[in-house]
Chains A and B, each alone.
Chain A
């Protein structure tokens, strides 16, 4: 079964600084998708960024970028120029054609310090 591991339960970052959240996953499939979701106190999960495994280029969305290391099964999220609004729970998730429901990690709670 596919598993997703987020080893950092909590992280903090100074406003305007950069922070990296870690995620590793385990799968025997070659075709899959990886996601980072943000869950603010409002509880609504919001997609931050998506990566397709067959694409070697790391995905980027404004201040958010990923470091996708397929061989190492690692998918970290980098947040640049952190803002107070970035404070939330961040979940790494996996999905594949053979297992379409999202498999989530336990999450990392990010605090942003003014």
Chain B
């Protein structure tokens, strides 16, 4: 069974540009969450989606947005990129939403903003 797939693996963007990251969950998983990982702040929660609905949102500015499609694939978008957006963006999928459900992570997308 294929794991969580995140594309692209690496991305370099210029300040002010926008970027879209993609996450394909494990087949049958309906919950997708996104996390930002930086050396300074560690792992911080961005969004959680279940059945195309956003269930939770972290404390990030409106430049960060996301969505989930009917096939459970998810995208996150960051507009007007800032240098501080450089990070590893991790996607996790779960069979269902809710605490305690095991989250399976992808290998992440390394975003560098120059």
B108 lies within 8 A of A100 (CB): no
| A interface: dominant SS | strand
| B interface: dominant SS | strand
Count residues of chain B with CB under 8 A from any CB of chain A: 25
Contact of A103 among B45, B55, B100 (CB under 8 A): B45
A95 lies within 8 A of B100 (CB): yes
In the bound assembly, the distance between CA atoms of A99 and B110 in angstroms comes to 27
- The reply on B21 being an interface residue by CB < 8 A is no
- The reply on B8 being an interface residue by CB < 8 A is no
Considering only CB atoms, which chain B residue lies closest to A32 in the complex? B99
- The reply on A28 being an interface residue by CB < 8 A is no
- The reply on A112 being an interface residue by CB < 8 A is no
Cβ proximity bits B70-114 to A, threshold 8 Å, 1 near / 0 not: 000000000000000000101010000111101111111010000
Contacts of B99 in A (CB 8 A): 32-33, 95-97, 99-100
Considering only CB atoms, which chain A residue lies closest to B98 in the complex? A100
B42 lies within 8 A of A45 (CB): no
B107 lies within 8 A of A100 (CB): no
Considering only CB atoms, which chain A residue lies closest to B55 in the complex? A100
B42 lies within 8 A of A102 (CB): no
A100 lies within 8 A of B103 (CB): no
